């Protein structure tokens, strides 16, 4: 228990640092600082310790398997705007609205950081794109934002972080998708 406490704490810190570095490259350092802070709250933190999984996958998955839901996740998604689930409202006219630029970019940084962690030495610039392509249909998200993320991760695979992860470049792609007609 006490070992998992420190392991889980370390996992959160390492993930937050990776996201912070990526957010700085993208010109949104403040989002990087704020990223996943709610993971230190007792409701999220102690569930993570209880279902600690050696970093192979998220403890939230194991908690959901056992209990049908995860209080940590419900708490997390309600407070963190970089999750598409934060913006979902099934009773609203637009169930999945357009997510503002900075949170969409923070979301991309989160996905890249997770890819780096889970792939370890096998990580390449394409890793995040492969993972996203396999799993994007599990995420209910505004189509324009989905298009934005897909294009950014594709370009990252082709050209690498130096070219793709900068604010002006990302903003151009974002605007192109958001201003597209239709939903």
> For residues 5 and 177, what is the distance between their CA atoms, to the nearest angstrom?
42
Read off the tokens for 28: 């949104």
Residue 80 contacts Zn ion per CB under 5 A: yes
Cβ at position 23, least distance to Zn ion in Å: 13
Cβ at position 78, least distance to Zn ion in Å: 11
Residue 47 contacts Zn ion per CB under 5 A: no
Span near Zn ion by CB under 5 A; candidates 7-15, 18-26, 36-44, 160-168: 36-44
Asked if residue 85 lies in contact with residue 137, where contact means CB atoms within 8 angstroms, the answer is no
The counts of H helices and E strands in the chain are 11, 0
Cβ at position 36, least distance to Zn ion in Å: 4
Other C-beta atoms within 10 Å of 151: how many?
A: 17
Span near Zn ion by CB under 5 A; candidates 2-10, 48-56, 80-88, 112-120: 80-88
> For residues 135 and 137, what is the distance between their CA atoms, to the nearest angstrom?
6
Tell me which residues touch Zn ion (CB under 5 A): 36, 80
């Amino acid at each position: 228990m006490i070992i998992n406490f420190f392991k889980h704490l370390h996992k959160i810190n390492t993930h937050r640092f990776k996201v912070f570095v990526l957010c700085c490259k993208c010109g949104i350092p403040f989002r990087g600082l704020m990223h996943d802070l709610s993971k230190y709250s007792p409701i999220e933190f102690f569930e993570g310790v209880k279902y600690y999984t050696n970093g192979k996958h998220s403890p939230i998955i194991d908690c959901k398997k056992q209990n049908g839901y995860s209080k940590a996740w419900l708490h997390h998604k309600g407070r963190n705007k970089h999750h598409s689930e934060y913006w979902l409202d099934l009773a609203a006219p637009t169930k999945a609205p357009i997510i503002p630029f900075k949170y969409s970019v923070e979301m991309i940084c989160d996905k890249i950081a997770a890819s780096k962690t889970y792939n370890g030495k096998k990580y390449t610039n394409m890793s995040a794109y492969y993972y996203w392509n396999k799993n994007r249909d599990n995420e209910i998200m505004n189509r324009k934002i989905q298009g934005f993320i897909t294009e950014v991760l594709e370009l990252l695979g082709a050209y690498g972080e130096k070219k793709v992860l900068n604010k002006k470049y990302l903003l151009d792609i974002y605007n192109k998708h958001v201003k597209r007609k239709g939903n």
